[in-house]
Amino acid sequence: MKEHSMSAPDNFPESLLDAYLTGNISRADEVRLMQWFDGFSDEEIKVVLDSKRSKLAIKEGIWRKVEKTTGVKLAENLVANRNVDQNGRLSYVSYAAVAAAAAVIMILVGWWAVHLINNKNNAAPGHLTAEVRVPGAVHNGAILTLSNGKVVRLDSSVAGQIATDGGAKLLLADGKLRYANQADEASAAPQALLNKVVTPKGKQFSMVLPDGTKVWLNAASSITYPVQFAKNMRNVSVTGEVYFEVAHLTGPDHTTRIPFGVQSGDLKIKVLGTHFDVRNYPDENEVKTTLLEGQVSISYGQDMDERRMHPGQQATLNRAKPNSLTFREIDANRAIAWKDGLFDFKDEPLDDILKEVSRWYNVTATADPSKGKLRFSGVVSKRAELADLLNVLSATGVVHFKIRENEVYGY
């Protein structure tokens, strides 16, 4: 087959790739590198990598990073020669190396990531050709339910004024919902008028609430809110995962800030104006709140006192232990990578990764109990096709996948 000639884009961030491979890249530049790869086709990426760096150089750089991450000198046939104990389990050193390899490969997921692994072993372990092909794009869209029960589909095919409710005009522009209140009518609107936005599996959505608060919804999530907020308090309820950038509002005296409250099941969050993420999926054992800016106080159930968080903290509650609220310092930006079209896994069990897969690709993904606790780290674009993501995971050699219709099984 004749290859097509194509010139490489001029803005390839070679310095970022070098920084990544040497371990000297910042979190912001890491996201920029991933977004650059998102913006080009597989063929363009191939040309870029062939022209800017040799495949061998990239390959050697990746393995140098794996060795630096693990502190272990790795053989080229890492996956093929992993150590197994008498019970058939991967030893600690081998497992750490495999996890690190997965992290390095997953950050640059695409044709060439799989290509490098295939070159190492001729055929990647667990490589599968899937019949299910998911379009490589981040899909935005949601379903809006008005206070009168009318349902409106929100997607890129709709623009302009889509409805009115309680004196407010609902506008959709660039796929984002916002409210334009008519002063006289809005002030007379009953505060009990509620709107609800729901994202189905495989889609995310962003919007601006009537008070100016910016909201992003991950897949399989929802937010319920009034068409007009009360003058002394703003309350919303959410399910799934939702990120907020709360608008600063003051009361009639122009000095007292109007609090903003979020209810998610038994979890209550009160803020004055801040950036934070709430994650409360019913199929997950933990409820998480991550604070990026400002201050919030949280409580759970009727018996727990409010506890205050500071930026960079994540509060985690185990559903099985209602009084087990714990706080830890994290890289908060990782918690909202989904908002920027990325999966960002850090030492995540395969079971939890497959829950993300189920929600985003609208499939049922599970793993054999012997594999579900294996942990992986890495950053993967949500534009990646399902088969590509599974190929990268299976290329580590510790798990394989079967796809049947809309079911995925790891074994």
Do 125 and 192 reside in the same domain of the chain?
A: no
For helices 350-361 and 386-394, angle between their N-to-C axes, nearest 10 degrees: 170
Token pair for residue 307?
């506890």
Q: Beta 260-264 vs 234-245: how paired, if at all?
A: parallel
Distance between CA atoms of residues 65 and 22, nearest Å: 6
The one-letter amino acid code at 367 reads A
Final residue before a domain boundary, out of 284, 319, 337: 337
149 and 104 share one domain: no
Beta carbons of 66 and 104 less than 8 angstroms apart: yes
Question: What distance in Å separates the CA atoms of residue 109 and residue 381, rounded to the nearest whole number?
Answer: 7
Same domain, 306 and 219: yes
**Is a pLDDT exceeding 80 seen at residue 364?**
yes
The pair phi, psi for residue 17, each rounded to 5°, is -65, -45
Q: Which pLDDT value is given to residue 32?
A: 72
Residues 377 and 321 in one domain: no
Task: Write out pLDDT tens, residues 181-238.
Answer: 754 444 545 557 999 999 999 999 999 999 999 999 999 999 999 999 988 889 999 9
Tell whether 347 is covered by a domain.
no
Residues 229, 376, single domain; the answer is no
Range of the domain at 176: 143-337
Among 318, 337, 356, give the residue marking a domain's end.
337
| Segment holding 274, helix H or strand E | none
Last residue of a domain, one of 321, 337, 353: 337
Distance CA 69, CA 28 (A): 20
Q: Which residues make Cβ contacts (< 8 Å) with residue 277, sequence separation at least 6?
A: 241, 242, 243, 244, 288, 289, 290, 292, 332, 335, 336
pLDDT score at 73: 43
Mean pLDDT value across residues 101-116: 38
Q: Does 223 fall in a domain?
A: yes
Same domain flag for 153 and 248: yes
What number is the average pLDDT over the span 337-353? 89
Inside any domain, residue 158: yes
> What is the rounded radius of gyration, in angstroms, for the C-alpha atoms of the chain?
23
352/69 Cα distance (integer angstroms)? 23
What is the rounded distance in angstroms from the CA atom of residue 332 to the CA atom of residue 104? 21
80 & 157 share domain: no
pLDDT surpasses 50 at 6: no
User: What is the CATH number for 178?
Assistant: 2.60.120.1440
Backbone angles phi, psi at 408, to 5 degrees: -120, 135
pLDDT in tens, 244-277: 999 999 888 888 889 999 999 999 999 977 999 9
- For residues 92 and 110, state if they share a domain: yes
Q: Is residue 362 part of a domain?
A: no
**How far apart, in whole angstroms, are the C-alpha atoms of residue 269 and residue 308?**
10
Q: What is the mean pLDDT of residues 149-169?
A: 90
- Whether 69 is covered by a domain: the verdict is yes
Question: Of the ranges 115-119, 164-168, 277-281, 285-289, which one carries the lowest mean pLDDT score?
Answer: 115-119
**Residue 257 within any structural domain of the chain:** yes
159 with 298, same domain: the answer is: yes
Number of domains in the chain: 2
Q: Is 300 contained in some domain?
A: yes
The residues with which 408 forms a beta bridge, in sequence order, are: 365, 403
Residues 152 and 295 both lie in one domain: yes
**Token representation of residue 238:** 């959410």
Amino acid at 377: S
pLDDT at 57: 55
* 128 inside domain: yes
Stated pTM of the model: 0.72
Q: Say if residue 75 is in the same domain as residue 192.
A: no
Q: Is there a single domain that holds both residue 238 and residue 258?
A: yes
163-191 per-residue burial string, b: 16 or more CB within 10 A, e: under 16 = eebbbbbbbbeebbbbbebeeeebeebee
State the pLDDT at residue 40: 58
